[in-house]
Structure 1
Amino acid sequence: MSDVVAPRELTPRRRWAALAVLSIAVLVLAIDNTVLYLAVPSLTADLSPTANEVLWIGDVYSLALAGLLVVMGSLADRVGRKRLLLVGAAAFGAASLFAALSTSPAMLIAARLLLGVAGATLMPSTLSLIRTVFTDPAERARAIAAWAAAASGGAAVGPLVGGALLEHFSWGSVFLINVPIMVLLVVAGAWLLPESRDPAPGPFDLVSALLSMAAIVPVVWAVKHTVAAGVDVAGVAALAAGAGAGVLFVRRQRRLPVPLIDVSLFARPAFAGSVFAGFMAVFALIGTLFFFSQYLQLVRGFSPLQAGLGELPTTLSAIAVVAVVGRFSRRLGLGRAIAVSLALVTGGLVAVAVTEGLTGYIWLALALVPLGLGVGLAQTLTTDAVVSSVPPRKAGAASAISETALELGVAMGVAVLGSVVSLVYRAGLALPDGLDPAARAAVIDSLAAGTHALDPASPVLDGARAAFTTAMQTTSLIAAAVTLAAAVVAWRTIPATAGGDAGTGAGERAATDRAR
């Protein structure tokens, strides 16, 4: 049964133009994950958020995305993927305007939350529409590679875009730029994209939708709260509540004839391994980049634009994945290709940890190349594997599984690794007894706040910069250990058979292997 409401074969030019529209959508969403990072010093000076509020400003966007992607993917199957994408684009533009006009940390956090909700209506539709538009497996594999390059490249492009804007405008410009792009997306999408939906989606299960959100949000909150306040009853209760909601969600999905998520897919090692690998790759990249932009500005003294350019090696290497992913997966096979991709991420993170302590930038730039290349490869291969393994009529809900894992990786990366940076930074501070109480509080809160409270030549600030560098190095090594473990899991769980037609995507071959 077709999942396209008005099935017709699009011309090649129309297909690739539609892909451009869908890639722009995911590019903007990915950029919004990281574009704010460079603005932290300037918005700190303007809005005076606490360190915990800064984490929430950065994290609530991805948290909302992760919590709602499964729900919105299922909704897109019912109301139409094109329709939901266009509604989401309009809402995203309005929320961006609200964020740009924020006058307090609470207002900005609320705006970022609305951006995440709007973004959740966009992402499932992008990947599922690719599945609808590109029916040929080889062509679809190339389209997914381009989509993944937009997602991973967008995360890396964000600091560059933010740096260019912040060089001439206020921090609100990093949100305001979304408005004309969303207008263009709505107009072009209405003309170029076909409508598609599941013709027999079954009833929408509100209880499952609520349980899916209840399983994600408390866990991330518990991590952030525990770092800020230590282990207490509230944090443990939130963690237990999230775990309990997760158990109830899984049990309910197993009983329902039409589940929100087909959890039986996770019984297949290849599927579960692919989702886990994609999660870990993004966890490491975004968790590192969140404070890396601040490191370049506050420790190395880069301007916002220079910091954005400083992260360009990550961007270029992530984009280069499109040219090499096909040959890479054919040579190694799916499982080994994903494992090697994660090993590249591991090597890049170790190199970043080493070079963060060096004075020259060139070595740091070289360390960023394997990091971007590895994340781009892992994201492309795991996304292709997940999407190619499901029936077309469930494309929206199934692609939401992959995207939820990626967005949850963003949220958890910022929450966990960002919190580790704060903990190690504070533990490494050695503040003199005679320091002004207000300055002491600012330095302890964050390096960004301390930079505005102290004289640039202050020895105390030099010590704070050294503590922040140590914190970045420690966090990079922790992320490297996590991705190395994920590489081992991918090697052992995802089929490593190579071969197949030259144009066939890695995920398509993996789906064939699983069907045998």
Structure 2
Amino acid sequence: MSTPTTSPARAGRREWTGLAVLALACLLYVMDLTVLQLALPQVSADLQPSSSQLLWIVDVYGFMVAGALVTMGTLGDRIGRRRLLLVGAAAFGLTSVLAAFSTTPEMLIASRALLGLSGATIAPSTLSLIFHMFRDPRERSLAVAIWIGAFSAGSGIGPVLGGVLLGFFWWGSVFLLALPVMGALLIIGPRVLPEFRDPDAGRLDVLSAAMSVVALLAVVFGVKRIAEHGPGTGAFVAITAGLVVGVLWVRRQRRLAEPMIDVALFRNRRFTAALVVNFLAIFVMIGYFLFVAQYLQLVLGQTALEAGLWSLPSAAAFVVASQLAPRLLGGVRPARVVAGGLGCAAAGMFLLTTVTTQQGLTALVVASVVISLGMGPVFGLTTEMVVGSAPEEKAGAASGISETAAELGGALGIAVLGSIGVALYRGGIAGALPAGVPAEAAAAAEDTLGGAARVAAELPAPVGGELLGLAREVFVTGMQVTSFAAGCVAVVIAGVAAVALRHARPADHAEPVGTAARPEPCPA
């Protein structure tokens, strides 16, 4: 006689309202990563930072987010995920005001660092709450897809909204976008978001938390330094130091009775395979996007706002594709969906190799849309598999791991694919500069396409025009080669996904590794 099974409770209005609030917070989190890029000219004119300070203003937010994600995810499991999210939202709003009214480069750098720490509470807290709020597998898949779509929407809306604000207000206005969203989260969140924590969690090991932050910051710093300056001793030392601290951190987790992260998770094939595929997919996507933004502004001569508008079709395609993933799960194995999506993305990257300096806008927009249509389901499915493979009481830590892998994948994509593009650019322009270009201008032109555009505007028209034309041709050649390389990597990842995820079933929500009796949720 068969035993009847009980279907998971379906989500109600409260859960879907809570998801909308969480999605808004995620959208803002990503916008803060992108919107400052448009304000840099005004920041430079107003605060007059050095070149080193300007780099820190841009990078310190991402550094702090990457370094603190795992710690914040683990902390949420211990003190409560809703509580951590609300504390982080309040801190994000306050530090946004501090950043908006910064009067010195040092003050803006410190504000951005605090914003990064606050932002690190958002991604793991929101994702782990989603896994607690949505018990039904299909509803959970849809909720994760909406969560993923919010991130893509933020990357598309940020440049457009930022460009509009900068047309009417000062540079600090881009930071004040956070206030209404975080205010809504603080008001509505306690009413619609449940509280959940691991009732058996011990105290947070401060040394482990510090070691994880140091390890991640060192690795991300080294990778970003390679992307900006090429391989060097400083980058090598930073990455090596980060890896050493990371190994010591893993050894410490194995000895602790109450570790930050149960390293046994990585023995779960489904967890590890999905994490690796997600990491490599982001590596490819972020690496190619670096060239697209430069192409629109520096080759086609578009303004930041125009470039942002032309990026909207790609963002919209990503949102739509990420929403299709739950429907595809109905009868198709996740391995086929992920492999097919990566194959579609590879086709888009190969299409980018047809872009030229004169006739490239249509091909670029179509290629970007195709890439987004392919990648949308990939990120949603792999993220769900990573977090869904962990015990429920460890969902915050698993979310932190997932988001950290995404940060590292993006940084590595910029470093590796960006370095290939830079090497091809410098090799192509060296020795081919037109006669009459001063030595100082030649050095700037050989460094970056942006440098070539700047010095070309200062040179006599014939020489400047020839220099800019050469720089654009060489840059596009580098973009074509890099896009081809990214497409080949995507094909390889598709093969890996087809093999490594072949045992995952549609709506595969088997009991996670290490799950014992599930803890009761905290009172809302």
SS of 2:83's equivalent? helix
Pairing 1:475–2:475 present = no
Residue 10 and residue 490 in structure 1: after superposition, are their counterparts in 2 closer, same or farther (change >3 A)? closer
CA contact (8 A) 1:386 1:402 kept: yes
Q: CA deviation at 1:247?
A: 1.5
Give the match for residue 301 of structure 2.
301
CA contact (8 A) 1:314 1:369 kept: yes
SS of 1:260's equivalent? coil
CA contact (8 A) 1:96 1:175 kept: yes
**Of the two structures, which has the highest relative contact order with CA contacts closer than 8 Å and spacing of 6 or more?**
1
Q: CA deviation at 1:136?
A: 2.6
Query: What is the distance in 2 between the residues matched to 1:462 and 1:438?
Result: 19
Deviations 1:323-349 (A, max 9, x none): 421232334311221222222222222
Residue 511 and residue 83 in structure 1: after superposition, are their counterparts in 2 closer, same or farther (change >3 A)? closer
Residue 279 and residue 372 in structure 1: after superposition, are their counterparts in 2 closer, same or farther (change >3 A)? same
Give the match for residue 31 of structure 2.
31
Residue 448 and residue 230 in structure 1: after superposition, are their counterparts in 2 closer, same or farther (change >3 A)? closer
Q: CA deviation at 1:193?
A: 1.9
Query: What is the distance in 2 between the residues matched to 1:239 and 1:25?
Result: 32
Residue 461 and residue 150 in structure 1: after superposition, are their counterparts in 2 closer, same or farther (change >3 A)? same
Give the match for residue 447 of structure 1.
449
CA contact (8 A) 2:354 2:363 kept: no
AA paired with 1:400?
A: G
Give the match for residue 153 of structure 1.
153
Query: What is the distance in 2 between the residues matched to 1:157 and 1:144?
Result: 20
Residue 98 and residue 426 in structure 1: after superposition, are their counterparts in 2 closer, same or farther (change >3 A)? farther
Residue 405 and residue 229 in structure 1: after superposition, are their counterparts in 2 closer, same or farther (change >3 A)? closer
Residue 196 and residue 353 in structure 1: after superposition, are their counterparts in 2 closer, same or farther (change >3 A)? same
Give the match for residue 401 of structure 1.
401
CA contact (8 A) 2:300 2:357 kept: no
Superposition map of 1:246-265 within 5 A = 246-265=246-265
Give the match for residue 431 of structure 1.
433
Query: What is the distance in 2 between the residues matched to 1:471 and 1:242?
Result: 31
Deviations 1:240-278 (A, max 9, x none): 212211221222222223221222222232211111111
Residue 256 and residue 188 in structure 1: after superposition, are their counterparts in 2 closer, same or farther (change >3 A)? same
CA contact (8 A) 1:50 1:445 kept: no
Give the match for residue 125 of structure 1.
125
Pick which of 233-242 and 305-314 moved more: 233-242
AA paired with 1:269?
A: R
Residue 30 and residue 226 in structure 1: after superposition, are their counterparts in 2 closer, same or farther (change >3 A)? closer
Residue 414 and residue 99 in structure 1: after superposition, are their counterparts in 2 closer, same or farther (change >3 A)? farther
SS of 2:197's equivalent? coil
Deviations 1:135-164 (A, max 9, x none): 333322221121111123323333333343
Q: CA deviation at 1:71?
A: 0.4
Residue 278 and residue 476 in structure 1: after superposition, are their counterparts in 2 closer, same or farther (change >3 A)? same
AA paired with 2:134?
A: F
Q: CA deviation at 1:233?
A: 3.7
Give the match for residue 414 of structure 1.
414
Q: CA deviation at 1:113?
A: 2.6
Give the match for residue 239 of structure 2.
239
CA contact (8 A) 2:100 2:176 kept: yes
Equivalent of 1:488 in 477, 491, 495: 495
Structure (1 or 2) with the larger CA radius of gyration: 2
Query: What is the distance in 1 between the residues matched to 2:300 and 2:231?
Result: 34
SS of 1:330's equivalent? coil
Query: What is the distance in 1 between the residues matched to 2:65 and 2:188?
Result: 24
Superposition map of 1:175-194 within 5 A = 175-194=175-194
Query: What is the distance in 2 between the residues matched to 1:101 and 1:210?
Result: 30
AA paired with 1:386?
A: V
Pick which of 321-330 and 235-244 moved more: 321-330
SS of 1:17's equivalent? helix
Give the match for residue 351 of structure 1.
351
Q: Give the root-mean-square deviation of aligned CA atoms.
A: 3.1
Deviations 1:384-435 (A, max 9, x none): 1122222222221122111221222233333443444444333332434643
**Stretches of structure 1 lacking an aligned partner (at least 5 in a row):** 1-8, 500-504
AA paired with 2:453?
A: T
Give the match for residue 3 of structure 2.
none
CA contact (8 A) 2:149 2:318 kept: yes
AA paired with 1:435?
A: V
Give the match for residue 4 of structure 1.
none
Q: CA deviation at 1:453?
A: 4.0
Query: What is the distance in 1 between the residues matched to 2:138 and 2:13?
Result: 17
Query: What is the distance in 2 between the residues matched to 1:153 and 1:83?
Result: 26
Pairing 1:311–2:311 present = yes
SS of 1:483's equivalent? helix
> Number of aligned pairs?
500
Pick which of 374-383 and 449-458 moved more: 449-458
AA paired with 1:205?
A: D
Residue 342 and residue 509 in structure 1: after superposition, are their counterparts in 2 closer, same or farther (change >3 A)? farther
Deviations 1:29-69 (A, max 9, x none): 12223333444566567667788766655443223212111
Give the match for residue 376 of structure 2.
376
Deviations 1:430-465 (A, max 9, x none): 434643455345434433344344328522222222
Deviations 1:121-140 (A, max 9, x none): 12211011112222333322
Give the match for residue 275 of structure 1.
275
Query: What is the distance in 1 between the residues matched to 2:104 and 2:25?
Result: 28
Give the match for residue 100 of structure 2.
100
CA contact (8 A) 2:357 2:472 kept: no
Q: CA deviation at 1:288?
A: 2.8
Q: CA deviation at 1:22?
A: 0.7
**Stretches of structure 2 lacking an aligned partner (at least 5 in a row):** 1-8, 517-524
SS of 1:187's equivalent? helix
AA paired with 1:446?
A: T
Query: What is the distance in 2 between the residues matched to 1:484 and 1:260?
Result: 35
CA contact (8 A) 1:45 1:449 kept: no
Residue 138 and residue 330 in structure 1: after superposition, are their counterparts in 2 closer, same or farther (change >3 A)? closer
Deviations 1:274-327 (A, max 9, x none): 111111222222233344223211211112222111111211111112442123
SS of 2:200's equivalent? coil
Give the match for residue 470 of structure 2.
463
CA contact (8 A) 1:346 1:484 kept: yes
AA paired with 1:431?
A: L
CA contact (8 A) 1:27 1:153 kept: yes
Q: CA deviation at 1:367?
A: 0.7
Query: What is the distance in 1 between the residues matched to 2:171 and 2:388?
Result: 40
Q: TM-score, normalised by structure 1?
A: 0.87
Query: What is the distance in 1 between the residues matched to 2:309 and 2:10?
Result: 39
Q: CA deviation at 1:104?
A: 6.3
CA contact (8 A) 1:162 1:304 kept: no
Give the match for residue 502 of structure 1.
none
